[in-house]
Amino acid sequence: MSGEYVVSGTLIYGEELEAREGYVAIAGSKISEVGFERCDSDIRGIVCPAFVNSHTHLGDSIVKDPPFMPLVELVAPPGGLKHRILSAAGAGAIAGGMRSSLEVMRRTGTCHCIDFREGGAEGARLLREVAGPRATILGRPAPGDSVEAVLAAADGIGISSTRDLPPGAAEDIAEKTKKAGKIIGIHAGELNRDDIDTAMDIMPDFLVHMAQAVASDIRRAADRGIPVVACPRSNAMTGVGLPPLKKMHDAGVTLALGTDNVMLDSPDMFREMEWTDKLLVHDDASVLRMATLNGARLAGLKKGAILPGMDADLIVFDAKSDTFKSSQNLISTVVRRAGPGDIGYFIHEGKVCRNSSRKF
């Protein structure tokens, strides 16, 4: 088949993330075959699924690292710092910021993000123009916009919180989104528990944050099969407290990871994984799954695992890098220690990009 090539070395294989010697054959944008015989190829290394960042706000890339201040003053619509800056910014400046953040994501091994996009249908179209298929775009109606107009321009809806909407509005949005066969995500339990029950009532495709979740919330999310996207660095930055991820994990809640507002945190999944693992979860494979397959499934994507038929979105780490020398467990090293400097090649939908900052 034309354009077919092979990547070999130690594969972090399948849904169980088994480290096995082998090869991945890539045809076009897909993984066409995975085998476990020794195979020589030009591209060799530690082959890992590329990351899926399950929660971003790329639109606020135009303002970075504001002073520490309470969450409401930072990001609450409509008067928070973020919204004041966004409403004063032109589309060109916003698009330029989003482009830079997408480049940071590419250099740090992320193939796709799920973005909560402000600015109504127009805002969703702007991100589509900049990101193409690299983002799942969950828009929200701007004043004067209908839910239908946003759904026509986006992959679904991202609600800031049920507390920002009049009674019944979240249910109406959820019904329209599901009817259109699109995705609905919602922030819940970031500042307090007030919006957790109402968020779960609409049966969203996923909740974001749940930093304030208590045992009954965790049980309800697990029983209803509602996944949670955690953003622990963002929660630390805004001072709301860290989410009880170990309890959620042990209760069987499906977890994914996001870096949240670019204004607050770099969209670098290595940093998010290390924080999450060492502070909260202490389970390397689960955290790597949160950063890959679990996120991909939220967006209905065939990404996040090295298996035939999946999109060929791969990080090939340099096995000879000083970071991987003396590693006792490759998955632990990827999650707790590795960084963008250890990436030899990044493969996005079959296209190979060599890390030009490394010397081979």
260 or 318: CB nearest Zn ion: 260
Helix-then-strand count for the chain, H and E: 14, 16
7 or 76: CB nearest Zn ion: 76
Hey, CA dihedral for 158, 161, 164, 166, is it positive or negative?
positive
117 or 303: CB nearest Zn ion: 117
Q: What is the DSSP letter of 356?
A: T
Q: What is the DSSP letter of 93?
A: H
Q: How far is the CB of 55 from Zn ion (least distance, A)?
A: 6
Q: Binding residues for Zn ion, how many (CB under 5 A)?
A: 1
Q: How far is residue 317 from each of residues 22, 195, 331, 337, measured CA to CA in Å?
A: 15, 41, 12, 12
8 A C-beta contact, residue 152 and residue 144: no
| Angle between helix 120-131 and helix 91-107 axes, rounded to 10 deg | 40
Q: How far is the CB of 264 from Zn ion (least distance, A)?
A: 9
When CB distances to Zn ion are compared, the closest residue is 260
108 or 234: CB nearest Zn ion: 234
Q: Which stretch binds Zn ion (CB under 5 A): 17-25, 175-183, 220-228, 253-261?
A: 253-261
Question: In terms of Cα–Cα distance, which of 353, 207, 333, 211 is closest to 277?
Answer: 333
260 or 268: CB nearest Zn ion: 260
118 or 311: CB nearest Zn ion: 118
Site string for Zn ion, 14-53 (x = CB under 5 A): ----------------------------------------
Q: How far is the CB of 323 from Zn ion (least distance, A)?
A: 31
Q: How far is the CB of 277 from Zn ion (least distance, A)?
A: 21
Q: How far is the CB of 106 from Zn ion (least distance, A)?
A: 21
260 or 265: CB nearest Zn ion: 260
Q: Which stretch binds Zn ion (CB under 5 A): 140-148, 242-250, 254-262, 352-360?
A: 254-262
Question: In terms of Cα–Cα distance, which of 171, 161, 158, 165 is closest to 127?
Answer: 158
Residue keyed to tokens 């690292």: 65
8 A C-beta contact, residue 56 and residue 114: yes
Question: In terms of Cα–Cα distance, which of 195, 254, 197, 245 is closest to 227?
Answer: 254
260 or 311: CB nearest Zn ion: 260
Q: How far is the CB of 158 from Zn ion (least distance, A)?
A: 8
Count of Cβ atoms closer than 10 Å to residue 79 Cβ = 10
User: In the window 255-294, what residues touch Zn ion (CB under 5 A)?
Assistant: 260
What distance in Å separates the CA atoms of residue 217 and residue 221, rounded to the nearest whole number?
Answer: 6
Q: How far is the CB of 345 from Zn ion (least distance, A)?
A: 31
Site string for Zn ion, 203-242 (x = CB under 5 A): ----------------------------------------
Q: Residue 296: phi, psi to the nearest 5?
A: -60, -40
Q: How far is the CB of 38 from Zn ion (least distance, A)?
A: 45
As given in the structure block, the two tokens for residue 258 are: 């996001």
Positions in the binding site for Zn ion (CB under 5 A)? 260
